[in-house]
Amino acid sequence: MTLDDLSRAAGVSKSMLSEIERDKANPTIAVAWRLTNALGVKLDSLFAASKAPEAITVAGPHDIPTLHGHDAGYQLRVWGPIELAGHFEWYELTLKPGGALVSGAHEPGTREHLTVLQGTIDIEAAGTAQRLKSADTARYIADQPHAIRNAGKGEARALLVVIHG
């Protein structure tokens, strides 16, 4: 499959695919879901074996998928269940000093909610910027390019919830 073919089949821009391939961007779970669908692979098969649902399931730290943006200085732990990908997702974001999670536009109507647990974080969305400190929550549009940056000298941590439009 060519880059053009995958871009058309998944509805993901060639520039985004190129950034993912070069480790310049990490796909959201929604983008990964679109890519795996276009490739005929089930997203959950990338993370864990399927099994019948149980009344209570417990995931240990080793069961939680983690995305690393080594060059960008972040770690994104995927806390939400894979079956909700593309609808509702939640993550734990850790940013090294100077680290940033820079995202392209998500689907129309997508919003993000970020709560700072530790440190100072700058949010950039829709041409505006806002600085948050520990215990602050920002809610912002995510259907345009946006960024989350560590504005402090120490590590920053936050909870990130993505609600797709």
Query: What global pTM score does this model have?
Result: 0.69
3-state secondary structure 57-125: CCCCHHHCCEEEECCCCEEEEECCCHHHCCCEEEEEEEECCCCEEEECCCCCCCEEEEEEEECEEEEEE
> Which structure tokens are listed for 138?
């920002």
> Which structure tokens are listed for 46?
């990338």
Q: In terms of CATH, what superfamily is 3-163? A: Jelly Rolls (2.60.120.10)
Distance (Å, whole) CA 70 – CA 24: 9
Q: What is the pLDDT of residues 37-63, one digit of tens each?
A: 788 777 776 665 556 678 888 888 888
List the domain boundaries for the chain.
Answer: 3-163
Q: What is the pLDDT of residues 58-115, one digit of tens each?
A: 888 888 888 888 888 999 998 988 788 888 999 999 999 999 999 999 889 999 999 9
Would the CA dihedral through 7, 108, 128, 103 be positive or negative? negative
pLDDT score of 143:
94
Crossing angle between the packed helical segments 3-10 and 14-21, to the nearest 10 degrees: 110
